[in-house]
Chains A and B, each alone.
Chain A
Amino acid sequence: MSLFLQLLINGFIAGAIYSLVAAGFSLIYSTNKFVHFAHGATVAFSAYMFYAIFSLWHVELWVSVLISLGLGALLGYAMNFFVYSRLRQQKASALIQLVASVALLILIESLILLFFGADVKSIDLIKVEKGLEFFGAIITPLQVLIIIVAVVLLGLLNFFMKHTKIGKAMRAVSDNKDAAEIVGISAKKIFAWSFVIGSLIAGVAGILVGLEQNLEPMMGTNLMIKGFTGAVIGGVGSVPGAILGAFFLGIAENFGVWFLPSGYKDAIAFVILFVFLLFRPQGILGIKKQGDRDLK
């Protein structure tokens, strides 16, 4: 087996999943200007909804996917409507909203734990058998699908942001909310849209992770940390940057444990994060803003 190629493939698969989480997170951050940690809960929620609808209630696959994604988007909308919009009305700072997002993350994961239990769950869609061999490395059809879905979805997101009215409005609000409102863009609606679209993408990530790996109540937190790290590496506030950073993280993690014990995988991710925070805090594609004292 070609270990180099296997690690590269594993890195791309991990990067694809992280990029879906990072893209949704970055979209929400760039528009709303606070760190929405509960984005991880949306990933877990969508995965568990898919598990419940497909595995427990035996609803057809594509119907299960659509319903789960819808529920994930609804969760994102509900979080914005019931929590963040009210905090915005009270002129809460970004820090307060971050604290609220952490509380939401813990609450939702606790509810998942309560209803589904702590046991590892798996969605038995694909028979357990040898994967496809590709120049000495192994990849499964599902893993190929993950990479394709991630690339297509992120491409669609890019198209959406550049060529649709709502996408352009989102970019306008992201650049300057007040100026956007002056020209008639409803920031309130754009915030809601960002949560819906970001949560939809998170839902896709959750379902893919559920199919590829397994489900456990803390899965959202772990993925959120990786997505957040990828977003920071690529440039917080830049969706393309977040995607690039996430792929970079996935590949770096997997190659990092080539000669180190695998238990260091998470440590490698955080070392990379620290390096970027210290030496390039704006990230790979982030732009240094004039007058921002935190960015060198």
Chain B
Amino acid sequence: MNKMILPGIIISIIVIIAVIAVVLFSQPVSHENTYKIGVLAALTGSGSFIGEGYVAGLTQAQNEINSKGGVNGKNIDLIIEDNQNLASVGVTSFQSLVVRNPDLIISTMSSPTVAIAHIAKDISIPIFVSVVFADVLPTNQNSVSFFPTAVDDAKSSIEGMKKNGVKSVGIIFLNTEYGKASADALVSEAKTAGIEIVGNEAFDGVANDFQTPLAKIIAKKPDALYVAAINATPIIKEAKLFGPKPPIFTNLIPVFGGLIYSDKNTFEGVRLNASAVSVPGSTEQSLFANKFPQITAAGYASIGYDNLYSIKAVLEKNSDPHSFVQAFQNLRSFSGINGTYQINSRHISMNLYPVVFENGQIKSED
């Protein structure tokens, strides 16, 4: 009999904890006073500098909106989960958000968002996609996106290449959903512009040594080298070992994420893409600097800020979150800190501008 007591106590404790958990999680979340918005962002992992900037923009907008009475009299409540920029963690984080029954879920970073887009089809919660280059809208009809696409970014890079007389380019890219989307877009836009692709090398996320793929590309003597990575710093460093030529082009991440300021020497002379808030002397830059005096990840913070204000604009037109996607399309245009956006179908893009980083500062190539 004594042998039965301890296991019995343990089992009883487990059952009690399980019952409490079920009761807690199954209670319907009250939406009377708040709009609950789930957020999946890379707060740790390789893209944490992106996620931190983005969430800083979101929370700034949240504080402003709530301090002015919220949306339709309701405050915005952000429930933030870390997806670590990994598909597997993204799925787990998404599922933990879903059980909390949010009105809307913002999903950032390509790999986790591509993973959850399939799963999210079966739930009625609209998905707001941002900071994603991969095209997930066809996968999930109950989703919208608000971020430059890989094509927008590639177009800006190609514009910069044309201004610099580039006739051929070699590409080195991270072998993930984001990197492939970026490389594919650049190949497509290059072909349209008559720029030849002379080399195309992929590297995986754990690679530390890029000399061999770079050597293969540079041996073909391209007019430019294009780098698509989450953190392009180590690749650009190694590319520069081969000399000042070919000139290096990369995408919006180092500007949006403020990487250029944390390693100015490496990014010296590199050509990148920037949004309005990063273009020196622009009205948008002044506005941004006033709101975010401490932030270097200007691009991502401004995107987070504009994302939440766009959500506010949609909910003010139609307070029912279940109709979010339709209401989003009916918005037509939206004005944010990055300027005025035109809304085409379920996607809001933004203008990007080719820039060069010189003497520790961004300079427009126009």
Query: Which A residues are closer than 8 A to B by beta carbons?
Result: 1, 3, 6-7, 10, 13-14, 117-120, 122, 124, 127-131, 138, 140, 209, 213-214, 216, 218-219, 222, 254, 257-258, 261-263, 265-266
Contact B46 A119 (CB under 8 A): yes
Contact of A122 among B48, B204, B237, B240 (CB under 8 A): B237
Shortest A43–chain B CB gap in Å is 12
Stretch of B139-147, B160-168, B186-194, B241-249 that contacts chain A = B241-249
Shortest B173–chain A CB gap in Å is 10
Once the chains are docked, how many angstroms separate the CA of A117 from the CA of B243?
32
What are the 5 A-B residue pairs with the smallest beta carbon separation, nearest first? Answer: A262-B213, A130-B243, A213-B208, A263-B202, A131-B241
Q: State whether the Cβ of B344 lies closer than 8 Å to any Cβ in chain A.
A: no
Which chain A residues border B242 with CB–CB below 8 Å?
1, 130-131, 138
Contact A1 B219 (CB under 8 A): yes
Contact of A266 among B48, B204, B219, B263 (CB under 8 A): B204
Contact A222 B212 (CB under 8 A): no
Which chain B residues border A258 with CB–CB below 8 Å?
216
Contact of B212 among A119, A130, A213, A262 (CB under 8 A): A262
Which chain B residue has the least Cβ–Cβ distance from A142?
A: B241
Shortest B49–chain A CB gap in Å is 7
12 CB < 8 A contacts A-B: A3-B219, A6-B211, A118-B46, A120-B234, A122-B233, A130-B242, A130-B244, A138-B243, A214-B208, A257-B212, A262-B202, A263-B203
Once the chains are docked, how many angstroms separate the CA of A257 from the CA of B175?
16
Once the chains are docked, how many angstroms separate the CA of A187 from the CA of B204?
43
Besides the known contacts A119-B46, A129-B241, 6 further A-B residue pairs in the complex with CB atoms under 8 A apart: A1-B215, A7-B212, A10-B212, A130-B242, A263-B201, A263-B203
Contact B231 A120 (CB under 8 A): yes
Which chain B residues border A262 with CB–CB below 8 Å?
201-203, 212-213, 216
Chain B positions 191-247 with a Cβ under 8 Å from a chain A Cβ: 201-204, 206-209, 211-213, 215-216, 218-219, 231, 233-234, 237, 240-244
Contact B206 A257 (CB under 8 A): no
Once the chains are docked, how many angstroms separate the CA of A198 from the CA of B76?
56
Query: Which B residues are closer than 8 A to A by beta carbons?
Result: 44-46, 48-49, 84, 175, 201-204, 206-209, 211-213, 215-216, 218-219, 231, 233-234, 237, 240-244, 263, 265-266, 268
Once the chains are docked, how many angstroms separate the CA of A10 from the CA of B238?
12
Which chain A residues border B44 with CB–CB below 8 Å?
117-118
Which chain B residues border A127 with CB–CB below 8 Å?
265
Contact of A128 among B216, B218, B219, B237 (CB under 8 A): B237
Once the chains are docked, how many angstroms separate the CA of A254 from the CA of B209?
11
Which chain B residues border A124 with CB–CB below 8 Å?
263, 265
Once the chains are docked, how many angstroms separate the CA of A200 from the CA of B219?
38
Which chain A residue has the least Cβ–Cβ distance from B221?
A: A1
Once the chains are docked, how many angstroms separate the CA of A130 from the CA of B113?
39
Which chain B residues border A3 with CB–CB below 8 Å?
215-216, 219
Which chain A residue has the least Cβ–Cβ distance from B242?
A: A138
Which chain B residues border A138 with CB–CB below 8 Å?
215, 241-243
